[in-house]
Amino acid sequence: MKIGVPKEIKTAEARVAITPAGVEAFVKNGHEVYIEKDAGIGSGITDEEYVKAGAKILSTAKEVFDVADMIMKVKEPQPSEYDYFKEGQVLFTYLHLAPDKQQTEALLRKKVVGIAYETVQLDNGALPLLTPMSEVAGRMSVTIGAYLLTNINEGRGIVMGGVPGVEPAEVVIIGGGTVGTNAAKVAVGMGARVTILDVNPARLAYLDDIFGGRVTTLMSNSFNIAQSVKKADLLIGAVLIPGAKAPKLVTEEMVKTMKKGAVIVDVAIDQGGCIETCDRTTSHKDPYFIKHGVVHYSVPNIPGAVPRTSTFALTNVTLPYALEIANKGYKKALLENKALLKGLNVYKGMVTYKPVADAQGLEYVDPIDALNKE
313-320: average pLDDT: 97
When pLDDT is averaged across residues 236-243 and rounded to a whole number, the result is: 91
Task: Confirm or deny that 183 is annotated as ligand binding.
Answer: no
Least confident interval from 11-15, 214-218, 366-370: 11-15
Q: Is 75 annotated for ligand binding?
A: yes
Q: Report the C-alpha gap between 154 and 227 in whole angstroms.
A: 24
pLDDT of residue 373: 81
> Is 198 within any annotated ligand binding site?
yes
Say if residue 269 carries a ligand binding annotation.
yes
267 is known to lie in a ligand binding site: yes
Q: Using a pLDDT cut of 90, give the percent of the chain over it.
A: 96
Instruction: Indicate which residue of 69, 100, 270, 296 is catalytic.
Output: 270
Question: What 8-state DSSP symbol labels residue 246?
Answer: P
Q: HSE, CB side, 13 Å, CA atoms: give it for residue 150.
A: 7
Q: Is 286 flagged in the annotation as binding?
A: no
Give the model's pLDDT for residue 12.
85
Q: Is 292 exposed, middle or buried (0-12, 13-18, 19+ CB in 10 A)?
A: middle
Per the annotation, the verdict on 96 as an active-site residue is: yes
Over range 342-361, report the average pLDDT.
Answer: 96
252 beta partners: none
Q: How far is CA 225 from CA 38, 91, 199, 254, in A?
A: 45, 38, 11, 8
Q: Is 31 among the residues known to form the active site? A: no
pLDDT band of residue 324 (cuts 50, 70, 90) is: very high
CA distance 47 to 16: 12
pLDDT confidence bin for 241, thresholds 50/70/90: confident
Q: What is the mean pLDDT of the chain?
A: 96
Q: Could you say which of 96, 100, 266, 296 is catalytic? A: 96
Residue 289 has pLDDT above 70, yes or no: yes
- Tell me if 340 is assigned to a ligand binding site: no
Reported confidence tier of residue 244, pLDDT bands at 50, 70, 90: confident
CA distance readout (Å), 239 to 24, 175, 198: 37, 5, 9
Q: How far is CA 272 from the centre of its chain?
A: 11
Which domains can be identified in the chain, with CATH numbers? 2-126+307-373 (3.40.50.720), 130-297 (3.40.50.720)
Side-by-side strand order, sheet with 288-291: 216-219, 193-198, 170-174, 234-237, 263-266, 294-297, 288-291
Q: Give me the pLDDT at residue 242, please.
A: 84
pLDDT for residue 127 is more than 90:
yes
Query: From CA 81, how far away is CA 62, in angstroms rounded?
Result: 8
